Amino acid sequence: MNRGILSGLGAYLIWGFIPVYFKLLQAVPAVEIMFHRVIWSLILLMVLITLRQQWTPLRQALRQPRLLGIYSLSALLLAANWWIYIYGVNAGQVVETSLGYFINPLLSVALGVIFLGERPRPLQWLPVGLATLGVLYLTLQYGRLPWIALSLAFSFGFYGLIKKVAPLGSLNGLTLETLLLSLPALGYLLALEFSGQGVFLHTTWENNLLLVLVGIVTAVPLLLYGVAARSIPLWMLGLLQYLAPTCQFLVGVLLYKEPFSPAQMVGFGIIWVALLIFSGESLMNWKRAQVKSTVVAISAD
């Protein structure tokens, strides 16, 4: 098994079981966890940038208002995604958070069509339509929109859309985003401390340690994902990405005993069928492209 596959498996398994980590911090408000995530991630990312001697692109970006605007928007979307996810996990909605990441790849297809003028292959429309049907069915069953799932899907979908056109590399881009979030994060955490409402250093040593290590839990899977994205085919990365929401779903149902009714099974089932069609179509298209490139190479010889 090559390095790229191992890196992808590592990233998605960490993301898949990260609800267990945040459940250990259930006594800490979601906003406070999210801002600790920003501060400790920034420290780790700055160490990595120093080790890799990649400060020049970051310094240049800080002098360009347009780039700062782009990354300010992506930073807000990332912060919203982090907060909603932590809130959902600690509110006992791990199953619904997993739904958001099942929907996300299909939403990305629709966003590419709307904002980038991409032309999806005809068979790609079928899973997008099925996923929409699944969400509508779940909405009727819940008696409300599954807002946690949809908020996660849309925030991460638009975040991915911005990152697709943003010029900085993954490490510098993420560092700039956390840097832009660090001032409000630090201000919020200091305000909590001065008002006597802060949890950090006023709780158990286990909670303090978990809040510090949240930076590693955030940065490591992102770095592993970066290695995988450069090393393995896109279709394989696409298949691996379903590992994370599948693990989250199983954690919610089996470990935390969240209710999962037959009606929910139908809604999730429709979306899972959509993902199977989407993955199968992507794999077949990749194989066709490989055969075509082989034929072209032989013809050129």
- pTM of the model as a whole: 0.88
- Could you give the percent of the chain with pLDDT greater than 90? 51
The secondary structure element, H or E, covering residue 273 is helix 262-300
Report residue 135: phi and psi, to 5°.
-65, -40
Reported as a single tens digit per residue, the pLDDT across 184-208 is: 999 999 999 999 899 998 888 999 9
Predicted local distance difference test score (pLDDT) of residue 295: 63
Predicted local distance difference test score (pLDDT) of residue 214: 94
CA 8 to chain centre: 13
Tell me the mean pLDDT in the region 58-84.
Answer: 93
Task: Tell me which amino acid residue 98 is.
Answer: S
Domain boundaries, the chain: 3-293
Whether the predicted pLDDT of 167 surpasses 90 = no
Which has more pLDDT, 124 or 172?
Answer: 172
Tell me the mean pLDDT in the region 258-274.
Answer: 91
Predicted local distance difference test score (pLDDT) of residue 234: 63
Reported as a single tens digit per residue, the pLDDT across 214-243 is: 999 988 888 888 778 777 776 677 778 888
| Residue whose token pair is 């966003």 | 111
Whether the predicted pLDDT of 22 surpasses 80 = yes
| Terminal alpha carbon distance of the chain | 31
